[in-house]
Structure formats: structure tokens, C-alpha cells
Structure 1
Amino acid sequence: MKKLFQIRKDIPKSLSNTVSIVTFSLLIILWFWGSNFTDISNVFLPTPQATFGAMLDGMKDGSLWTDIGISCYRVFMGFLISVLIGIPIGILAGTFKIVAAVVKPIIGFMRYLPISALIPLIMVWSGVGEKAKVTIIVVGAIFSLITMISDIVRSVPTDLIHSAYTLGATQRQVIAKVIIPAMMPQIVDSLRTVMGWAWTYLVMAEMLASSSGLGYSIMIAERFMKTYIIFMGVFTIGLLGLIIDKLFALINRLLFQWAIEQ
């Protein structure tokens, strides 16, 4: 037992998977027991049977698949735009002090603004269509992404850069052949975090300005006190997030095994 609680020591993969499965199963069991064998009203704690029954019904009639497709489209569009804009700016800000001096005050100002306060303004500028929802995701994610990427660039060992210059590399080659390859594993980890933010901002946008999607279905369920539908939406979003997170971890492991083994 003592070996399992050593700082930063690995444990067998099979044990890790078993513990994760048992923990999740215990949560489901507690949920089942609390909703079926206590005095808690099903309005406050719906049963797993009602929740998963609604999920199966939504799969059968296609409504759940439609909501998932719409929400995933919005998330991935906002995520992609954030990545295409945020990563280059982050690399430049982390590499050149003059670029950092330009973007730092803007990022410092925007990072701490509550996105919910900007939603009415975004709706005025972009309307209430798909553009507004994607814009909310981009505004919510891009400034923190730029900060994360610039910090990753600054964490690249200076010795690597000096060695490249010593071998005759140009400034452009240093960026392309040294800095970017060295930071790639950490970029993928950062993108996992950004994807989580994208889902958070998406649900916020869909609950305030939408007529479709998982966030919208949660909002409608709340109006009619159908908490089992709310639980279904939350469970679906959590499951999608888990799948996407595992995909990012798989990509990182396949592409950057050398970094994981260090």
C-alpha cells in the first residue's frame, strides 16, 4: 500500500484503469441509492433509470444525436478558430519581447472579463445565429490560449536556442526547427484544457441565445422542471468531454512518445 502513495511514482496501468472504473461505478450506485431509497424528491435528484431512459429515447428518435451534432460543430469551429489565431500569436509573444509588449495589456484586460457579460454585446454585433455562438467560444478561449502558448515558448531551454545559433541556424530556423518542435507536446496538453473551456462557453451561449443544442435542451428542461433531462444533458456533455480528452491524450502519446518517456 505504501508504494501506491509515493510522490510522482507510477502505478500499473491496469490498476489505474480498475480504480477509475470502480470509482465511477460507485458514483452511479450512490446516485441510484439516493434517488430510489431515500426521501429525496425526484425533482431534485432524478433516478438513473429516468435519466438513461431519456437518453435512449433521444437516441432512438434522433433528437439527442441532432443536439450532439449541432453542439459539436459549434465547439469545434470555435476551438479551431481559437487555435489558428491563438497559437501563432502565442508563439510570437513568447519569442519576441516587442510582440509580448503589444499583446500583454490586451490579454491582461480580456482574460479576466466575464464572458457572460460580453454575450449581449456579441449578440448585438453578430446577431443570434451560429456566428454569435462561435464568437463566444473564441472570445472565451483565445486570450488564455495565447498566454499558455507564450509561457510554453518561454519554457523552452535557452541552451537549445544558443546551440542552434552556434551551429549556424538562422532566426527563422530556430523558431521552426527548435522552438516549435520542443513545445509541441505541451501544446497538445494545452489544447486539451482549451477544449474544456470551449464546452463551458458553448453551453453558456446555447442557454442564453439558441434554439438548438445540448445547452438549449438543458435550459428548456429547467423551465419545466424536468431534471432528468438536465441530468441527461450534463451526462452527455461530460461523456463527450471525456472521449475528446482521451483522444487528445492518445494523440500526444502516439506523436510525442519521446516526451512522455522522459
Structure 2
Amino acid sequence: MNPKQQTVKLNDGHFIPVLGFGTYAPREVPKTKAAEATKIAIDAGFRHIDSASMYQNEEEVGLAIRSKIAEGIVKRDDIFYTTKLWCTFHRPELVQFCLEQSLKKLQLPYVDLYLIHFPMSLKAMEKCKDAGLTKSIGVSNFNRRQLEKILNKPGLKYKPVCNQVECHPYLNQAKLLDFCKSKDIVLVAYSALGSHREKQWVDQKSPILLDDPVLGSMAKKYKRTPALIALRYQLQRGVVVLAKSFTEKRIKENIQVFEFQLTSEDMKVLDGLNKNIRYVSGCIFKDHPEFPFSDEY
């Protein structure tokens, strides 16, 4: 099956491809890499592209998408594009302005999904959906309590379609996943392959996920890479997963996640790897009253 056809229905009726291409890169990586990698990803079959104003690469990513549209490889409707509202734009009057800035950089008429990057206001996001600038709205890095606060808000017009959080075998988010499923909110996994590249955000002493011996032996058993095992694990749990790589070989490899299936026994073994290790600790926000990672989930 063509990977671009594997989608999950969101609670507002739109569909999100289950495998996404993450475009974030550390500062030292030239921005042009984002354009090259996005083109490779689209050629390889990725149709879900995840970016954010904070990544400072939307001009390059937009250029890559538009060049593939111009080549006739895809139409705008084939691409599911996500951007995010950064913390400095949470004042209601800046929410739509931030999205309009992203659209200007992308040179696209709309985005498919607009997320709050860290927990704050939703009201102004609803106006962006009403204005047709985004098809869906969602959240990122919200814990259960913060999600409940939104869902119980009087006059809530659109409930978030997804919650994008760090999620991988060392932090499998089982309780948050169950809660999101019960509320018809899709869990989207970032840092799905672990993360060590960004020193500003990541504790360099944390273990390297893809070096885990369990993932290694499973990779041998299925004749795949440890990364593919980690990605496949998420898909079989009903999680939409973002695979991030700027290496052509790995981008093409990651799309093979649809070519095999893990047994239920192996899924249980992978469940057992959970250590509640968070690579992206968000410690720069830890004194904020809405800091999301102090709760259990």
C-alpha cells in the first residue's frame, strides 16, 4: 500500500497521514538542508510534513513543497502540513498574525494543522480555523490536566484534533495515549527515535534509544533497522509518528515502516522498555505555572 494513503480520521472530519516527516534541525545545520530533505521525503512518499515558526525553516520547506507541486509530483491537497504557534505569540491578537507570517514564508494558502507549541490559549486558534487559514487545530506538549481544562471550557467551539508530544519506547506515554483515545484526540509522536542532537534542549547523559539491545535484536529478527522497529511500534499503538532525518538513505528507509508488522509478543516486549526518560525536558519553561511535565502524564 502507498504510505500516503495510510491516514487516521481526526475528530473534525479531516484525515492525517500516520507517518510524518519532521523538519526540525539544530542551529548548526544549514537551513538549505531542510529544503533538500523535504524534497527527498516527498519523492520517497511522505505526505505529512511537520514544521513550526520556531524552526526558522518554513521558507525552505515551503519552497520544497511548491517545487514538488510545480513538478506535478503532488498537488497541494496531497500534502498535510503542520505548523505551530510559539510561546512568544500567545497574546490573542498575535495568534492569527503568527499563522499569517508562516503562510507568507511558505507561500501556501492554508496549513492543514495549527498547533499550540506549549500549553496556553485556544480561543484565538479557533478564529484561524474559521478564517480558513488552517483546516484543523491542535495542541502540543499538553498533559492530561491541561487537555481536560480545554475540553471542559465553556463555549469550546472546536476541540483539539491532536496532542503532539515526545513519545518513544523509553517514554511510551501509555496513560496519556489511553486518555487521548478516550477523547477522540490523536496522539502525534515527536522525538520518536530519541534525540541527542540539540544540546540546548536535550540532556546529553541520557541513553541513546537506537542503541538499545532490545531494538537491536528485534531489528535483526525482522531484517530492519532499530529506527524502523521504533516507528512501527508507534503505528501499531494507533500513534501518528514523525520520523526526522536529513539523510537521504534514512529518509527512504523510514518509509519502509509499512512493509512489515510486529507480533503482539514483540509489542509487549517494547512496552516493557518504558523508563519515563524524557529527552526534551523543556527545562527553560520549568518555572512557568503551565509547565506541562511536572504531572505524571
Q: Which TM class, normalised by the smaller chain length?
A: under 0.3
Could you state the TM-score of these two structures normalised by the residue count of structure 2?
0.21
Structure with more strand by fraction = 2
Higher Rg of the two aligned structures:
1
Work out which structure has the larger RCO, using CA pairs closer than 8 Å and 6 or more positions apart in sequence: 1
